[in-house]
Structure 1
Amino acid sequence: MQTKITLSLVLTALSYTSMLQAAESVALDTVVVDESAESNMEATVAPDTLAGVQSYSEAGIKTFSAQANTSALKGINMSPSVSFNSVDAFGSNESSFHDPMRIRGKNQSGPGGVLTVEGLPLNSNPGGGKTIYDMENFAYVDLYKGYMPVDKSLGFSNLIGKVDLIIDRPKNSFAVQLSQMAGSDNAARTFMRVDTGKMGDVSAFGSFSYTQGDKWKGDGDLERYNGMLGFAYTPNDRFKSELYVIMNKDTHNNYYQMTYEEASDLDTYYDKDYGKDATKAAYADYNKQKFEDTAVMANIEYAFAEGSKVSFKPYYLHDKGEYWFDTAPSNPANTAVKHWQIDHDLFGGVAQYEQKILEALRLKLGYWMHWQQPPGPPTDQELYDVSSGTPVYTKTAIQAETDYHEFNSPFIEFSGENSGFSYVAGLRYLNFRLAGIDNYKNGSIDPLSSVDAKIYREWLPSLYLAYAPQENLHFYTDYTRSYGYDVNLFPFYVSNQKQGQNFAAKGISLQQLWDKQQPELSDNFDLGMTYNTGGITLNPNLFFTRVTGKQASLYDAEYDVVYPTNNADAMSYGFELTASGAATSYLDFMVSGSYNRYYYTEDLQTGATKTASIKGNQIPDAPKYMANAAVTYHEGGWQLTPSLRYYSERYGDVDNTQKISGATLVDIDGSYTYKKLWAFKEATFRVTMTNLFNRQYISSIITPDNALAANTTKTSYQAGAPFGVYAGIALKF
């Protein structure tokens, strides 16, 4: 069948990587892909055109996710206003649970990851669930930055948008894929996938990968095993059932976190990392993480008639592992390390009914159920002293028991098109139960630091409108309300119960502060157009966001204390422009730029007589200016793509005193593909060079948005990887 996949200009831009060789464009921002062999459960009654959605296909992912192919976020980094600055080539190393991903300046709040799979929130953060997916097993990736349909915005948080992975389903014919990569710092990756083809009404695939590599500085390495199984049962055109299972094991050492002084002198400190002295917390083997994850998802569909379908998608994720980290990385004499143990589950399901009533009226009804155990907040942390050369237990930092965070969320959506007009109008009701906490002190429950469960209820509307006065011109506008919730209050209270704010001495319980908390809400607006002329497509886009209930450490006059609370307001606005297309029959290009202002709209009261004058300052780690460019030369089997990414200066504090210089990074990807080489259906040889000019730069700024210069321990910095070369071969049978 023919399935319509919505695209925006970035997909069009990436077409120069040959990702759409089997595609036929039928509208400016819509591509029809022939999926007669592998049907796509995502689009049957869905609207045809959503200009705010950006899609990256398999070839685009290969080109722009560089060498490792284990991180979906590296593959979308060429999108305007998207900033993902991984500290290494794999996209998997991060400090503790920090996720260095920002969309339009905003970062994710709480234990809610930005990734989804087929719209399902199969993601663990903190924990090991962020890089459990081999990208070879996904047909394309959808990026939602502002507008989000009601069934694509699920999860603990959707504050900044969603990155949705669409599975490359079991193929109808027997097929084998093999690939091998090797490169800088002993990097190596082996991947294999075997598709059985149709066996009666059943088809299946299985894949396995092994990834390894040394850190590019200091001691330590990465080792990752991954396996995935997929099964499809399609006895007729009306019924389909699918099951997918993923198992992942990841162990790696983290990179050193710099102070601002060190980050300001990269000539001296660029190569500084955790060391070899086992009597100090800065020892490499005391700063690591290890996780094992199992993910299961299914899809059951039944079509009553053409344009009418019911579906159910259950899912489950188990995440077990640990972080070890230096409690004071800025203090070289520190001997205290923290051991954070994680063992949690999340599970749920989405039931959905779709009905095409008229071309101008389609109906979608659904219900999302979700349960998720903490962490978020942490529940099991211990302190160790390493002055003897081995970790010796000191005390328990946090020992708590919780139940599940619970979500129940019905939704409805109407969509259609007529006479050049198209629309999608959705409404989702969120019933969110934040888990209660029983915190233990000396073996018994501490009533001061324990809290009851709390319920939040929110209406989440969304609206998309488009008009095409002519075939090559589309105007669109959209609105979505998104949500998030930070869970920092509990660990902050525990660590300050008898020191700092001294809540216990003042007789202030966590429940009193807990009752004041509210979710963070973001109202997101877009206004844009797409215009195609002579094979070149232009996509200007204006965006505006109003944020309420943003977290900051604020003074509470009622209790005369300062603590993190969702009670501040912020705003962002900006502009994005993308131009792309075919300059000649063998030369394609894409260039994009964005401007983003993101700031608190008020000063922060940080004490009874103290105010932080930060109104209007750019929020940390949010560059105002970003630009991307790429050109692809393709002739015969040859393809060469140099690409450039630029981001302007950023700050490590909301005072805007800790300035980090901008950077321009250049990568180059080259490949040659043989068709029908010996016994192979296809053989591709690829060489990728990253950070071509060996630029020293800061990749990740680890900081909350309200970090003040007066509290410099809140911000740390990580250097980006130097020049790297990676070569690989991919074979298809």
Structure 2
Amino acid sequence: MKTFEKKLLSVSVLSILLSATAQAQSVDVGVVSVKGQALGGGMMVQEDTPKARSVVTSDALNSNPSAGNALDKIAKVPGLQMSSTDSSGISGLNYTMRGMGADQIGLSADGIPLNDSGNYAVYPNLLGDSENISQVFVTQGSAEVDGPHIGSSGGNIGLSTKRPDKNAGLFVEQKFGSNDLKKTFARIETGQIGNFSAWLSASHTTADKWKGQGDLESNRVEANAFYKADNGNTSSLIVKYNKQENYQYNSVKKSDFDASPNPDGTTGHKADYSSNPTNSKYYQYARNPFENLNVSFTQDLILSDSFKATIQPYYYWGNGGGATESKTLNTSSKSNLYDLKNVINTQKFYRPSMTTTWRPGVTVKAKWDLNDQHSLSAGYWYERARQRQTQPFIYTDNGIPRDVWAESNQFIDAKGQVVQGRNQLTITPAQRVWLQDAWYVSPKVTLLGGLAWENVERKGNNFGSLSTTAYTKQAKYNELLPNFSAKYQLNDQHQFFYNLSKNMRAPQSYVLYNADDSISLKPELSLNQELGWRYQTQDMLLSATAFNMHYKNRQISSQNGSGDDLMINAGKVDSRGVELEWSGNLPYNMNYYTSYSYTDSQQKGMAVKKGVSLPTVGKQTPNTSKNVFTAGIGYDNRTWSWNFSGNYTGPFYGDLTNDEKISGRTTFDFAAGVHVPVKGNFVKDVTLSFGVNNIFDKEYLASAKTVQINSKTTGTATGSAPLYNIGEERTFVISLSAKL
């Protein structure tokens, strides 16, 4: 770690301990209104929002003994189809929702956007420790009107950090599991000291990869402080820091997965990177170091009985990247920028794609209760992201990179320049203004109407690299985004709702650097409609939603006739379906939870690759199973608990033309625990938990990591095999925790 980052971390942690500020869910975009207790072991809560939304509480997150992150633990909610590379919580993950990929779905934590500012990807290292999360909510079809997203044409997932406890104490937890998994977690609470309270946590996670060679390591420090003034105003500071040094998992072709294993480990059901140091895809080259810091400061101000305001500045910093194979330089390579006469042609280099991001932003919003019938909300969000992306060539020794962070041992050409395979700086100013009115027509009828205006700029600076010359490009995108929803509360049990919303996704930063006229790509626009019914009692919750989502200007990566990368408009997509969620309590301390999703997501546009129009019209969107069903039953008497659940995920495709179909699968999980209250002066209570995932060791391809347009060659459009993530084998974990 650089000296600067060490100092920054030290200052951040020190400021938490010294400042009288912090809160967990002020600008946590879409705080859930809970009328009663959570059911289904915390997998479902009573809901008032007039749109499709699922909520998973800390009860469900904490009862899952795995080391997985918060998103790993919400995989059962309807509409969401999720898979993770492994159960450590710090490797890759992949998910879709209503036919849209993770890079089309907004993700935020306490009001801070977590999607990558350039390509909207989601990385586990940004999610923090699930032990510090109070709830996760999923809006399956539309982002919140005040959501800080520029890449959400689909729904939104939000994480809320827990507030400090009123009582001082220490919580410690140790996990052990398959593949030498170890996670140590500790959180100290100051308790309420006057108007101030805070907590500080740290964790250390290590594991071996479950397939292939290499290991995983993550270290986190997180904190939350909270101050509530006598007049009701609150201030909050949340800081989350993570550093990891991981080896990557290899994604494979279906043919490699189906083939018999070879001694090198690159084919078969556990295929991974090569164990042979002479191979360019040697596992030592497949590294993924990353370091990130999130800081948010939130102030909730009660300015009068009818007027409240919230101000939240935030800052995100991240640095890291990785590679998957070695690269070579050649003295005959043509370059207008570099003099490569000092190259040794046979020399192998580690060439990672490194990214450093600086991302300051601020959200300001206000709520004015005009009278008993109308409540007006307005706000403004601004962010200016800077993203520096490079690809230096790092010296290696016997197949091992000298510096996986790419800060030293860089290859320098004969003119004294660091040779770069990519050398870019992207600046993305973004802003959103919104106004929304809540009209309480009667005790039974509530109407919500709002309008947002979003503006995004992309400014690209290509400083020149091995394959490009220096240039600058920029583009602007803006759109008006209306929304309307209605709720009818028939009685205490029955509730009906309708939601209509428009969403925008600005083109990814690739358009600044890809070939041809990628820069002219239009924003992706979606129109989402939902019609739903909820039945809610103290012992049972039932929700049913029918949805119809139409979006246009679908953005995908393709190639021109020369084989250069470019972004294209693949036309329209219609996604329709039904989502069901049902949970409740049974006699004898039993509980149950089940969800079902039917998603018919069809492409209406024709994709073009190398000048060839390909047959994508009427085909299912990749990575989307039409049918997904989850059912679980559990027991909890506050001392003993257990839960058994199964999940069926139907077949899906790995390409837009639906040439390659992947079979569905059914997996089962089990967890059990015992909670022992202790009446001692030191230890307050102890919990011992055990869990096993994929009980019957099902072997399957979990998702397409690299979706292709076509798997079969059509004319000059050469077919390319999609690359898939392999589903993890059976794993177990044991967790022991105590409150002191």
- Tell me which interval the TM-score lies in, with the shorter structure as reference length: 0.7 to 0.9
Tell me, yes or no, if the aligned pair for 1:701 and 1:715 is still in contact at 8 Å: yes
Alignment partner, residue 212 of structure 2: 218
Match of 1:684 among 687, 706, 709: 687
Alignment partner, residue 373 of structure 1: 386
Q: Secondary structure at the match of 1:452?
A: strand
- For 1:357, the aligned partner's letter is L
C-alpha displacement of 1:272: 2.1
- For 1:250, the aligned partner's letter is Q
C-alpha displacement of 1:50: 3.8
Alignment partner, residue 473 of structure 1: 494
C-alpha displacement of 1:708: 4.5
1:640 pairs with 2:642: yes
1:505-584 pair list within 5 angstroms: 510=515, 513-532=517-536, 535-552=539-556, 563-584=566-587
User: What is the distance in 2 between the residues matched to 1:554 and 1:287?
Assistant: 25
| Structure 2 CA distance for partners of 1:531 and 1:265, relative to 1, 3 Å | farther
Match of 1:660 among 659, 662, 666: 662
C-alpha displacement of 1:384: 6.9
C-alpha displacement of 1:515: 4.2
Alignment partner, residue 136 of structure 1: 131
TM-score for the superposition, normalised by structure 2: 0.83
1:698 pairs with 2:701: yes
User: What is the distance in 2 between the residues matched to 1:189 and 1:385?
Assistant: 33
1:276-675 pair list within 5 angstroms: 276-326=275-325, 338-374=351-387, 379-382=389-392, 389=399, 396=419, 398-417=421-440, 418-441=442-465, 446=469, 450-487=471-508, 489-490=510-511, 493=514, 510=515, 513-532=517-536, 535-552=539-556, 563-608=566-611, 610-675=612-677
C-alpha displacement of 1:405: 0.2
5+ residue gaps, structure 1, are: 31-47, 494-509
Tell me, yes or no, if the aligned pair for 1:123 and 1:129 is still in contact at 8 Å: no
Aligned residues: CA RMSD: 3.2
- For 1:405, the aligned partner's letter is T
| Structure 2 CA distance for partners of 1:334 and 1:599, relative to 1, 3 Å | farther
Q: Secondary structure at the match of 2:85?
A: coil
Alignment partner, residue 264 of structure 2: none
User: What is the distance in 2 between the residues matched to 1:204 and 1:369?
Assistant: 28
- For 2:566, the aligned partner's letter is Y
1:201-280 pair list within 5 angstroms: 201-265=195-259, 269-280=268-279
C-alpha displacement of 1:335: 6.9
C-alpha displacement of 1:728: 0.7
C-alpha displacement of 1:675: 2.1
Q: Secondary structure at the match of 1:16?
A: coil
C-alpha displacement of 1:452: 2.3
C-alpha displacement of 1:350: 0.2
Alignment partner, residue 78 of structure 1: 76
| Structure 2 CA distance for partners of 1:677 and 1:180, relative to 1, 3 Å | farther
Alignment partner, residue 63 of structure 1: 63
Alignment partner, residue 199 of structure 1: 193
Match of 1:716 among 703, 706, 723: 723
Identity %: 22
User: What is the distance in 1 between the residues matched to 2:247 and 2:108?
Assistant: 26
| Structure 2 CA distance for partners of 1:527 and 1:689, relative to 1, 3 Å | same
Larger CA deviation: 643-652 vs 100-109? 100-109
Q: Secondary structure at the match of 2:242?
A: strand
User: What is the distance in 2 between the residues matched to 1:212 and 1:705?
Assistant: 33
Tell me, yes or no, if the aligned pair for 1:433 and 1:453 is still in contact at 8 Å: yes
| Structure 2 CA distance for partners of 1:307 and 1:672, relative to 1, 3 Å | farther
User: What is the distance in 2 between the residues matched to 1:707 and 1:334?
Assistant: 35
C-alpha displacement of 1:390: 5.4
Tell me, yes or no, if the aligned pair for 2:164 and 2:189 is still in contact at 8 Å: yes
Tell me, yes or no, if the aligned pair for 1:289 and 1:322 is still in contact at 8 Å: yes
TM-score for the superposition, normalised by structure 1: 0.84
User: What is the distance in 2 between the residues matched to 1:728 and 1:573?
Assistant: 41
Tell me, yes or no, if the aligned pair for 2:431 and 2:456 is still in contact at 8 Å: yes
User: What is the distance in 2 between the residues matched to 1:133 and 1:466?
Assistant: 35
User: What is the distance in 2 between the residues matched to 1:491 and 1:183?
Assistant: 45
How many residue pairs are counted as aligned between the two chains? 668
- For 1:426, the aligned partner's letter is G
Tell me, yes or no, if the aligned pair for 1:638 and 1:671 is still in contact at 8 Å: yes
| Structure 2 CA distance for partners of 1:126 and 1:544, relative to 1, 3 Å | closer
User: What is the distance in 2 between the residues matched to 1:585 and 1:424?
Assistant: 41
1:119 pairs with 2:145: no
Deviation track 1:121-144 (CA, whole Å, cap 9, x = no partner) reads: 145465867444111112111111
C-alpha displacement of 1:544: 1.1
Tell me, yes or no, if the aligned pair for 1:279 and 1:389 is still in contact at 8 Å: yes
User: What is the distance in 1 between the residues matched to 2:349 and 2:577?
Assistant: 44
C-alpha displacement of 1:383: 5.5
User: What is the distance in 2 between the residues matched to 1:55 and 1:540?
Assistant: 15
Alignment partner, residue 725 of structure 1: 732
Match of 1:6 among 32, 46, 49: 32
Q: Secondary structure at the match of 1:436?
A: strand
Deviation track 1:379-416 (CA, whole Å, cap 9, x = no partner) reads: 31246797974569599564334352011111111114
Deviation track 1:96-117 (CA, whole Å, cap 9, x = no partner) reads: xxx512111211338xx74211
5+ residue gaps, structure 2, are: 1-24, 262-266, 328-345, 402-409, 414-418
User: What is the distance in 1 between the residues matched to 2:433 and 2:131?
Assistant: 33
Deviation track 1:139-197 (CA, whole Å, cap 9, x = no partner) reads: 1111111133311x222312232211112112222122111110111101111111111
